Structure 1
Amino acid sequence: MRLLVFPPNKNIENSLNDLYVFDQNCEVDLIVSYKNSITCNSNQNVDKKAYGMPSSYIRYEIKKENKLYYSYYIDLDDDITKKDIKAGFDKMLDELNFAKRE
């Protein structure tokens, strides 16, 4: 797979490179999108704020020629950690029966 992290983030990229050998010449893309420190200032979301809105998320998508083959998404209560990155990647590998890196 080819790794694409948007917006660019060296910590996420380095964490994933420790878990898998990516190939920039591959036609299959692993697209990682994320957001940290999500805040909502709208009064229209008072009910959602009362129940606790997530403060970050991470999404993994596997695509080839813009066709989506797999998607993983999780809301997080804190900023994204290396543990969150690994947990999501491991779940993706398990669900798709990828060989794990030794």
Structure 2
Amino acid sequence: MKTRFWVWLLLGLLATGCGEKPVTRVYEAAHERPITCLRLAVFPASESLEKALKGLYPFRDDCPVLLEVRHKENICCNSTQNVEQKTLSNFPRHFLRLELRRGMTPLYSYYIDLDHPADAGDAQKAFETLREDLPLANP
């Protein structure tokens, strides 16, 4: 009976090891000058992500501040460190990353592991988090 308890406890801990909690960072340079506009780049191209983001903000092609959105699907991790977690849980195989830069100077970053391909809802949550963390002037 004790063994069964420990097995279920271990399985529960492994299943919750990788949650959908983003890692964000606001760089000092973000506070040096106000951000008055944004330019958008999505890699690889995704019509649904781009449409979702353009519905939240009027991006401009001539803006010096770039919001780069990267997403990846079906990541294969060959590390042996997470074997148990990959086998016994819904291990994330996708990610979504937002990076905000003025030229080459980083202003903000957002990263989240996902157990599904990034979709419009994930992009909206990410952009809303960016807006909460960093003031954006209305263009």
TM tier, smaller: 0.7 to 0.9
The CA deviation at 1:24 is: 0.4
Superposed CA offset, 1:71-97 (max 9, x none):
001111112121111111000011112
Q: Does 1:15 align with 2:52?
A: yes
TM-score of the aligned structures, taking structure 1 as reference length:
0.84
Larger radius of gyration: 2
Partner of 2:135: 97
TM-score of the aligned structures, taking structure 2 as reference length:
0.64
The CA deviation at 1:39 is: 3.4
Q: Going by fraction, where is strand more abundant, 1 or 2?
A: 1
Q: What is the DSSP-based 3-state SS (H/G/I as helix, E as strand, rest coil) of the residue aligned with 2:56?
A: coil
User: Comparing 87-96 with 44-53, which one deviates more in the overlay?
Assistant: 44-53
Q: 1:86 aligns with which of 94, 118, 124?
A: 124
- Contact 2:101-2:108 within 8 A present in 1 as well: yes
User: Comparing 4-13 with 48-57, which one deviates more in the overlay?
Assistant: 48-57
- Contact 1:15-1:86 within 8 A present in 2 as well: yes
C-alpha distance in 1 between matches for 2:119 and 2:68 = 18
Where does structure 1 lack aligned partners over 5 or more consecutive residues? Answer: none
Matched residues, percent identical?
A: 35
Q: What is the DSSP-based 3-state SS (H/G/I as helix, E as strand, rest coil) of the residue aligned with 2:97?
A: strand
